[in-house]
Amino acid sequence: MGLEKLHPFDAGKWGKVINFLKEEKLIADDLVVQAREATDEDLLVVHTRRYLNRLKWSFVVATITEIPPVAFLPNFVVQRKVLRPLRTQTGGTIMAGKLAVDRGWAINVGGGFHHCSSDKGGGFCAYADITLAIKFLFERVPGVSKATIIDLDAHQGNGHERDFMDDPRVYIMDAYNRYIYPGDGFAKRAIKRKVELEWGTEDTEYLQKVHTHVEGALNEFKPDILVYNAGTDILDGDPLGGLAISPQGIVKRDEVVFRAARRRRIPVLMVTSGGYQKRTARIIADSILNLHSLGLIHGQLAARGAAHPSLEQMVRDSAKDLGNLSLQ
C-alpha cells in the first residue's frame, strides 16, 4: 500500500540482489533454496510467548518497524504484509544455518535482524533470526556446540548480544559506529572483541581493523559455525550508518571474512542485514560474484569431509536435506 516509502529501508533490496545474480548467470530459479516461514513453534525456541503475543498489536509492530501508520492497520494485514515476510526471512536464516554446516557456506539474501532479542524487538527487527539459527544448530545438529558471530553492520548488534550474554558457547565480535543507535551499554558486555568506529571511518582504516580482528577472533575461539552479519549500511552516504566505506571496500570486507573462515574450514552463514541506499543491492550482488570468482563459495568450501559438488548439485541435495529437516 505504499507504506514502504515511509521507511528508509529499500523493501525491494533482496529481490534485486537475486535478479542481479540471475542476470550475471550465477544462479537460476532452480539454484535457489526457497525459505520457509518460521512458525510460532519455531520462534518459541528463542522468543517468549509474551513477546509473540505483543506482535498481535499493530502499534507494537509500528514501533519496532518505525512506520507509525502501521499502528492504524488491522493486525491481520500487519501479520500478512509486514510480519510474514520477516518470518520467512527468519526461516531462511535457520535453514541457511543447517545448509552452511552441511555444505560449508550459505547466504540468506535477507535476515540479519540483529536488534531483536528473545523478548524485545526494535530497530526494524521483529524476530531474532541470528539467535534462532544458532540455537537450532546447538539443539538439533550433532557436532555443533560453539558459534562465532561476526557482526559488521554499522550498528551494534544488541539483540544477539543480549540473548547470548554469559553464554561461553558463543563468541561475539562486533564492529560498529560508536555514536549511533542502539548504544546499548548492557549488551556490550557480551562482546568478546569490540571494535568501536568513529564517524566517517574510511576504507584503509576499516579494512585493516576488520582483517586484524577477524583473524584475532578466529584464532582466539574455534567455532563450529560462523554467523556473519554483513550489513551494507557502512556504505559512504548511508543516512543511518555514518561511516564512509566504498563499494569496493564492502566487497573486500566480505572477502576478508570468507577467506579467514575458509582457511580454517569453518562453515559460514552470511545474512545481509542493514543498508539504506538503493545501490546496496548491486553491491551485495557484486560481493557474492566476487566470492564465487575467488572460489570462496562453491563446492570446494564444503566442510566436514564432504565431496566437492557443483553449485547446482549442492542446491538439489540441500533441497532434499531440508525436506527432512523439520523446523518444528
Q: How is 271-300 classified by DSSP, letter by letter?
A: E-----STTHHHHHHHHHHHHHHTTSSSGG
Residue 86 lies in a domain: yes
Q: Is residue 254 part of a domain?
A: yes
Classify residue 283: in a domain, yes or no: yes
* Catalytic residue positions, numbered: 115
Strand partners, 147: 170, 225
For residue 61, tell me if it sits in a domain.
yes
Strand ranges across the sheet with 105-108:
105-108, 268-271, 225-229, 147-151, 170-177, 193-197
Asked whether residue 317 is domain-assigned, the answer is no
CATH value at residue 169: 3.40.800.20
What total number of domains does the chain contain?
1
Please, are residues 151 and 230 in contact by the beta-carbon 8 Å criterion?
no
Tens-place pLDDT, residues 270-279: 999 999 999 9
The whole domain housing 176 covers 9-298
Identify whether 318 is part of a domain: no
319 part of a folded domain? no
What crossing angle do the helices spanning 129-140 and 84-103 adopt, rounded to 10°?
40
Residue that the C-alpha cell 509492530 belongs to: 61
Of all residues in the chain, what percent carry a pLDDT higher than 90? Answer: 85
Q: Which of 152, 147, 162, 154 is nearest to 116 (CA)?
A: 162
Position 304 in a domain? no
| pLDDT in the model for residue 304 | 37
Q: 230-266 pLDDT, tens per residue?
A: 999 999 999 999 999 999 999 999 999 999 999 999 9
